[in-house]
Structure 1
Amino acid sequence: MPFKTLLTVTGAHQGDGDLKHAAGLCEEIHAHLSVFVLVIAAPPSGGEYAAVVSPAWLAEREAEMEMLEKRTSAVSRLLSESAVSADVSSDYPDAAWADEVIGRRARYADLTVVGPDLLASHMLKEKVIEGGLFSSGKPILLVPKSTRATLKPKRVLVAWDANLEASRAVRESLGILAGADEVRVVMVDPIEDERHHGAEPGADVAAYLARHGVKVTVDRLPSSNRSIADVLRQHAIDTGAELMVMGAYGHSRLRERIFGGVTKSMIEGASLPVLMAR
């Protein structure tokens, strides 16, 4: 399915770099751009006695709402000068449900673009990624600093572990994969049994992709005492991949936060644009 609407999220203190990245992607594939301007509300003063509303907290909220209004106006002006079809919306949620608010907005886009400015913003980054992955049913595209994102890549790496999340990522990116000159399905330490990768790891997913016209190659790689994320990143460099496609959070978010995982590692240290789905 082609991407017809891209969503990007921006905050009050961010620059316009992410907007320009997203607008460029929309121009490339003739898509509509939705911009969601978000300021996460300051928590009430007084902790559990928050019913006691302080004048300072009220003043802080008023200032934040004013910043939200100014940023929304600035974004609207910027987009009015662009040739891209676009719309702007805004919200001022509390931190506790900001990811759900973002996820609901993302349900009306085909892809949420998380650019370098957003990746540098700790709280807003977390809320956008979690909302996009867990509350929208749609994929996200991470665009790290100093990388060039394209939705018409020539070389794509697919991180395949035969899990549901990886299957969804492949399905969401079929249009991109079919248009690429080279797609490498990469498995790290694949397990050869029917509950994992099958008798011939990679054969089933390669056949599936080939039926969709994808020019696919299967790479089975040993980890050799390296993390899976490091193996994938290095192979992406070695093969000149312009995009990585992978499933996200095969384990729970809590487990990933405590013990780490491929998703967490990729979010924190992606070396190329990564399309994730769950």
Structure 2
Amino acid sequence: MKNYTFLALQGPDGTTAELAPLTEAATNHSGRLSVLHLGPVPIMPYTMMTSPYGAPAIPEGWISQRREMAEMLAEKQSKTREYLKREGLTGEVSTICIEPAAFHDMVAVRAIFADVSVVLNSLRKDKTVFDNVVYGLLFEAPGPVILNTEADTKALAPENVFVAWNNSLPAIRAVRAALPLLKAAKEVTIACFDADSTQYADGESPGSDLATWLSHHGCKITVQEYNTGHHSVAEAMRARAHEQTANLIVMGAYGRSRWNERFFGGTTETMTQQQDFPILLNH
């Protein structure tokens, strides 16, 4: 992760202490740390004037709410700039104060020139905001997303990495994005759940091609096949990652439609909502 630009996304209740793992990673690898403070405001209501040609009137209460949020974010921005200066780090500090549904596109634009985006748990207070931020980063931005860095102090310099492998394009993109971390780790477990040995799925030796490729990069690899039994893939993944004392889970995101997962559930949806393990995602 040498010379990486990290983008940290914080909610309005985020603190500089929450940035500590990122600060350490950026400092240790000659990186940059940019911070984006996000403040949701309610959907703008309006009432029409009685005249057929009247302009919409915005309620004063909404204007006050937005002003208060903007002032709070400006204060956070100032404190974060001072913090980065004290830590000797470079990077932009900016704010977005907008309706929750608009975060999807706005955060993606800010993440274009970041090597990795880290969504901090202060954004989880509002699920709609959190979901839109994660979706925007996964579907509209080019880099990987890391969640739950607060769950393990070694999340950004993991000694033990658990790779959830299913031979899909999102999975290999996630592995490629995580390659600097995998090369530095002491142990990498390639985990195949309910593997399909046909040539159109995982192949006769699930995970073996990935293991060969990563071994050539100097990674220390173990391949494991697991049956989920009566558990979901997400439940089995968390249980096995816990057994392996993993500091980070790497997985592809949304191998099927995100709307399908959102309404009917799925591995990605479950893993993004959990807070027990740091997780690196890529779509």
**Deviations 1:175-229 (CA, angstroms, capped at 9, x unpaired):** 1111222111001110011111012211111112122222211100111111111
Identical positions, percent: 31
| Cross-structure match for 1:205 | 210
Task: Say if 1:272 and 1:22 are closer, same or farther in 2 by CA, change over 3 A.
Answer: same
Distance 1:47 1:230 in 2: 48
Regions of 4+ moved over 4 Å: 47-50
> Out of 39, 56, 65, which is 1:60 matched to?
65
Gapped regions of structure 1 (runs ≥ 5): none
Question: Structure 1 residue 84 and structure 2 residue 92: aligned?
Answer: no
Task: Say if 1:6 and 1:145 are closer, same or farther in 2 by CA, change over 3 A.
Answer: closer
| Cross-structure match for 2:252 | 247
**Deviations 1:208-262 (CA, angstroms, capped at 9, x unpaired):** 2122222211100111111111111111111121111101111212111111111
Please, which moves more after superposition, 59-68 or 181-190?
59-68
Question: Structure 1 residue 138 and structure 2 residue 148: aligned?
Answer: no
Distance 1:270 1:64 in 2: 26
> Out of 80, 103, 109, which is 2:114 matched to?
109
Distance 1:207 1:48 in 2: 65
Contact 1:148–1:273 (8 Å) recurs in 2: no
Per the alignment, in what secondary structure is the counterpart of residue 266 of structure 1? helix
Gapped regions of structure 2 (runs ≥ 5): 50-54
- Taking the TM superposition and a 5 Å limit, the aligned residue runs for 1:147-158 are 147-158=152-163
Task: Say if 1:79 and 1:124 are closer, same or farther in 2 by CA, change over 3 A.
Answer: farther
Q: Per-residue deviation at 1:127?
A: 2.6
Q: Give the aligned length.
A: 278
Q: Per-residue deviation at 1:3?
A: 5.8
Contact 1:157–1:183 (8 Å) recurs in 2: yes
Distance 2:43 2:255 in 1: 32
**Deviations 1:21-57 (CA, angstroms, capped at 9, x unpaired):** 3212222333110001222333212489993322222
| Cross-structure match for 1:18 | 18
> Out of 227, 230, 234, which is 1:222 matched to?
227
Task: Say if 1:90 and 1:266 are closer, same or farther in 2 by CA, change over 3 A.
Answer: same
Per the alignment, in what secondary structure is the counterpart of residue 62 of structure 1? helix
| Cross-structure match for 1:269 | 274
**Deviations 1:93-152 (CA, angstroms, capped at 9, x unpaired):** 333321111011111111111223233442332232112111112101112654224332
Contact 2:25–2:157 (8 Å) recurs in 1: no
Distance 2:114 2:19 in 1: 15
Contact 1:107–1:137 (8 Å) recurs in 2: yes
| Cross-structure match for 2:76 | 71
Contact 2:163–2:191 (8 Å) recurs in 1: yes
Please, which moves more after superposition, 76-85 or 251-260?
76-85
Contact 2:193–2:225 (8 Å) recurs in 1: yes
| Cross-structure match for 2:33 | 33
Q: Which residue identity does 2:77 align to in structure 1?
A: T
**When the two structures are superposed, what TM-score results if normalisation uses the length of structure 1?**
0.91
Distance 1:6 1:75 in 2: 14
Q: Which residue identity does 1:248 align to in structure 2?
A: A
